[in-house]
Copies of this chain bind each other. A is one copy, B any other.
């Protein structure tokens, strides 16, 4: 690598796109230039960056000329349309949509778990689903130590996972309810304020949602072990930022709660918060704006031979999306896998 890369951020005006710019700045990503792209509608909009402003450019098939890496967070169909154009121009894509995740030509990467998969990328790298990312960061050290056989996970997911529209919807609904006004759901099929919705994404044939099957299939692809069985129930809760997960794990060999705690405390990307005597455990509110995957409520589950219960929390917009994408770009640089020499 002879020069600093030029970085395109596509879908820059959305909740994740804006966070990508923030993360690039905060982590001092060694970019020679960062350019925000979005649909024609947002062209000319100004976004803050490194004390100044960036002007949003229109996303086109040719716009990636001269760029080394493009961070996409513009939805599945936009990504399907433009990511191949970027890749063809030698600009490596890190895509946050679900479009490329299960494509066998595309690595699906969480840098703490499977950085080695970046080696076989062909121009498009997929960023996993938010609820999957934080779970596999916690699962991987346990799997390496004790082999995970089965995971039963129930999620408590924040509205920010559905974008800015849903953030506004929760706020508006609460405000209207407190003023005695009627609530009309738009971002979700039902009222989210003071309610729990056991549906994230659309339903599939067998009664599971797409989100639930993402957690099943993406976990296997990222962790690289088809023997890990996952069953999931994904639920939207009236929280703005931070996904929480109740994770029940069955392992092949024994891992005590103390061993698990010690193991996770020294594992990458994890902060253990597990002090029942101080009523300290991970919470969505505390995780907001931070980078770590927080793990607590670590308990042995004696209903199986080798069982564990965990409570896993992370900022879904950061580690669950923007941060993980930037970390992938950083890892590409470190491993010299970004095509910056041309």
Contact B235 A238 (CB under 8 A): no
Contact A150 B303 (CB under 8 A): yes
Q: How large is the interface on A (under 10, 10 to 19, 20 to 34, 35 or more residues)?
A: 35 or more
Query: Given A208-B299, A235-B246: A203 and B152 within 8 A (CB)?
Result: no
A230 to B302, CA, bound (A): 9
Report chain B residues within 8 Å CB of A73: none
Question: Smallest Cβ distance from A82 to chain B, in angstroms?
Answer: 31
A229 at interface by CB-CB < 8 Å: yes
A153 to B150, CA, bound (A): 15
A166 to B252, CA, bound (A): 42
Report chain B residues within 8 Å CB of A203: 276-277, 279
Question: Smallest Cβ distance from A190 to chain B, in angstroms?
Answer: 6
Interface of chain A residues 240 through 257 with chain B (CB within 8 A):
240, 244, 246, 248, 257
Question: Smallest Cβ distance from A187 to chain B, in angstroms?
Answer: 13
Query: Given A206-B299, A207-B276: A239 and B194 within 8 A (CB)?
Result: yes
A97 to B304, CA, bound (A): 31
Report chain B residues within 8 Å CB of A178: 174-175, 178
A100 at interface by CB-CB < 8 Å: no
Contact B237 A156 (CB under 8 A): yes
Per assembly, the copies of the chain total 2
Contact B235 A304 (CB under 8 A): no
Interface of chain A residues 167 through 224 with chain B (CB within 8 A):
174-175, 178, 189-191, 194-199, 203, 206-208
Contact B154 A246 (CB under 8 A): yes
Contact B207 A284 (CB under 8 A): no
Report chain B residues within 8 Å CB of A238: 194, 237-239
A68 at interface by CB-CB < 8 Å: no
Interface of chain A residues 245 through 280 with chain B (CB within 8 A):
246, 248, 257, 274, 276-277, 279
A208 to B248, CA, bound (A): 13
Query: Given A195-B283, A197-B283: A231 and B207 within 8 A (CB)?
Result: no
A296 at interface by CB-CB < 8 Å: yes
A186 to B240, CA, bound (A): 22
Question: Smallest Cβ distance from A109 to chain B, in angstroms?
Answer: 25
A136 to B301, CA, bound (A): 20
Contact B154 A279 (CB under 8 A): no
Report chain B residues within 8 Å CB of A246: 154, 198, 233, 235, 246
Report chain B residues within 8 Å CB of A175: 178
Report chain B residues within 8 Å CB of A206: 257, 299-300
Question: Smallest Cβ distance from A118 to chain B, in angstroms?
Answer: 29
A235 to B195, CA, bound (A): 14
A309 at interface by CB-CB < 8 Å: yes
Question: Smallest Cβ distance from A213 to chain B, in angstroms?
Answer: 11
A49 at interface by CB-CB < 8 Å: no
Query: Given A150-B303, A277-B203: A198 and B233 within 8 A (CB)?
Result: no
A203 to B298, CA, bound (A): 12
Contact A307 B231 (CB under 8 A): yes
A285 to B285, CA, bound (A): 23
A selection of 5 A-B contacts at a CB cut-off of 8 Å is: A190-B279, A195-B284, A198-B283, A238-B239, A248-B248
